A and B are shown apart, each in its own frame.
Chain A
Amino acid sequence: MPRIELFGESDPVLAWDGTAIYGDEAALAGEPPPARLEGSAAAAQPLASGQVRLFRDRLGLGKLFWAKNAGGDLAFASQPLKLVRAGYDLGDIAAAPRGRVITLDADGSLASVSALKPAGPTPAVSASVAQIGAHIREALDAYLAAVATAYPDRRAYLCLSGGLDSSTIAVLARRHFSALTAVSFDIADAGRAPSADRLAAERLCADLGVPMIEANVTTEELISYLDTVLVAGIDWRDFNVHCGLVNAAIADAIAQSSSEGDPPPIVITGDLPNELLVDYQPEVYKGATYYGLPRVDVAKLRSVLVDGLDTCHREVGVFGAFGLSVAQPYAACVDAYLSLPASLLAEQDRKDHLVTNIVGSELPAYIYERPKLRAQIGDTHDKGTLAACIDRGIDGSWLRGRFSALHGVGEERALDRFIRAGRYQTAMPTGTTTTEEDQ
C-alpha cells in the first residue's frame, strides 16, 4: 500500500480566524484549522485515524510541497529542498493548492476537500474609501490584539522601514504589545551615512516611545545570506531574493538580540500592501531595467501580484530559517483591500489616501511626506541590495544557476515548469490537478 511521508517541520503557523490566533501549538497538536482563516498557515497533520490532513491559507503565505514516487508513495515538506534531499527531482515537486483543507486516507487517496473562507466580513461593494479604511483599521487592531493575547510572554519585533505600511503598524502595535521593539535595516559599510529609511525609523520610534534595534550589515554580510534566502525563500527571481536578503539581515539581528531560554519572539511585518495597492515599479540600475512588471491594466496587475504571494517565501520562509514566526497584520484585511474601488488604484497617491483613512493624523506628517524608498534600491542607487548583488555579478542568471545547484537541478528548464507565470507548479496531492475555478 502506498505510504505518506512527512519530511521536516512545517512552516511556522500564525493565522487568525477573525477572533483568535490559530498557531503552531494548535497545528502541532493536530487541531484542524478553523474554516475561516487568514495569515500564514500550512501543514501536513498526521491523524490518529491514519489519515493525513493538509492545509494552506487562502493567499498561500504558508508553503506545502509534495511529490510522488513510482510506488505511489506521497511525500510532503515545507521546502522543495527537503524533498530533493529525500530523492525527488525538483521538476516532479508541486505545491499543494492554497485555500484548501485536504484529507488523505492512509493510502494517499483523497478523502475530502474543503475551501477556507475569509476570517471576517468583507466591506460592501459600494463602500467608500473612508469606510474601507475604517474596516481595515478595525481588522488590524483585532488581529494585533489577538496576537498579543495568544503570546503574552513573547517579545514582539516590528520590521520598521519608516515607510507608510510598517509605520502604520507601528502606530497600532505599540498599543497592543507591552514589549514591542522595532528593527531597522541598513547597509552600513564603512564611511556610509545612515539611510533615509533609518533616519525616519529612528524619528518615528522616538516619537512613539518604541525602542529600536539596528540590523546593520555590510554588503559582504548581506551577500552571505544568499543561500539561506534561495532555499528558505523558495525562489530565484531577483526581486524576491533581494527582499529576502533584507529580511534575513533583520531576522539575524532579532535572533542575536534574543536571550537563550527566552520564548521565541514574534516578528511583525508591514508587508502585503505593496501587492494589494500595486505599489511597485521597475527599477533602472546602471542602464539595465530590473523588477519588470507585465504590461497589463492595473486591476489585472494587482491580481497577478496577489496571486504571486503564493509563490516565494521571502517573509515567512526566510524568518522561519532563523526560528522566527511572522505575524502579517495586513493579511487580516486582504478582502477589504481587494474591495477598494478601481478608481483608487489609479491614483498616484493611493497609499497615502488609504492610510489617511486608516490612521489619519496618528501617523506623523513626516511619514506621509517621505518619498517611497525600497531597501532593495536604497536612497542613492548605490546602497540597496539590488546594487550590492549586481555589482558582484549576482544577476538573475546567477541566482537561477545557484538555485539550480542548491536543488540538484541538472537542466535549468525544470525551473521554467516549477515557477511559470509567477506561480509554483500546483496540483492536488492525489495527482488530479486543481484549477482556478476550484479555488
Chain B
Amino acid sequence: MKDESLPPETELVERLRNNDVALFERVVKTYHSSMYAVAHAIAGPAIADEVLQEAWISAINALDKFEGRSALKSWLIRIVANEAKTRLRKESRSISLDTVDEHWATDSRFTPNGHWVESNPGWDMSSPDELLAADELQDCVKKHMNKLPENQQQILNLRDVGGLEMEAICNILGVTASNARVLLHRARDKMQQVVARFQRTGKC
C-alpha cells in the first residue's frame, strides 16, 4: 500500500487520536515494513518483532504528543530506531570494505579496461509500479536482500527500505559517511542486477 492511499497528515493524525481502527490498520500496513527494516537492521532479526511491537505501543501512547513537525512516517521511524538502539545487538559491528573493493576489482560485467562485456538490456521502461506489482520479482528481491553481506543489508534496510537519513545511519552504525555510501551503493548495485536478471530471464 502506498502513502497516497492515506488521508492528508493532519486529518490522519486527528482520526488516529479519535479511535479510527480501520485507519490505524491501514497505517500499520503502510508503515510496518519500513519500521521492521529499521528494527531488523539495528537490533537484529531475532528481536526485531519484539522491538517493533514496543515501538508501536510507544507510538500509540505518544500520539497526543505528536506535533506534526515531521511526517508521521519519519516520527514512527524515529521511535523504532530509538527503541532498537536501546536493544542494540551485542555482536561485533565492525564494517569492512575489503570484500566490497574486491568485488569491484573482479566484476565480471566489465572487460579489463572497464567497458561493459555485454549490452545491458533495457527493462527501464517498466515503471516502479509495474515492478512492485510483480509478486515473484518482489519475492526474489527480498530473497537476495537477505543474502547480502550483513553490513550492506543493514544500510540498505535503513536507507532505502526504512527511509532514514544518511547522517542518522552513520551515527547508529558508527561508520563514516564515505564507508556508508560505498556499502549502500554496493547493495543497490546488487539489487539492480537481481532485477535486471529477473526482467531478462524471468528467473530469480
A binds B: no
Residues of A participating in the B interface, judged by any CB pair closer than 8 Å: none
Chain B interface residues (CB < 8 Å from chain A): none
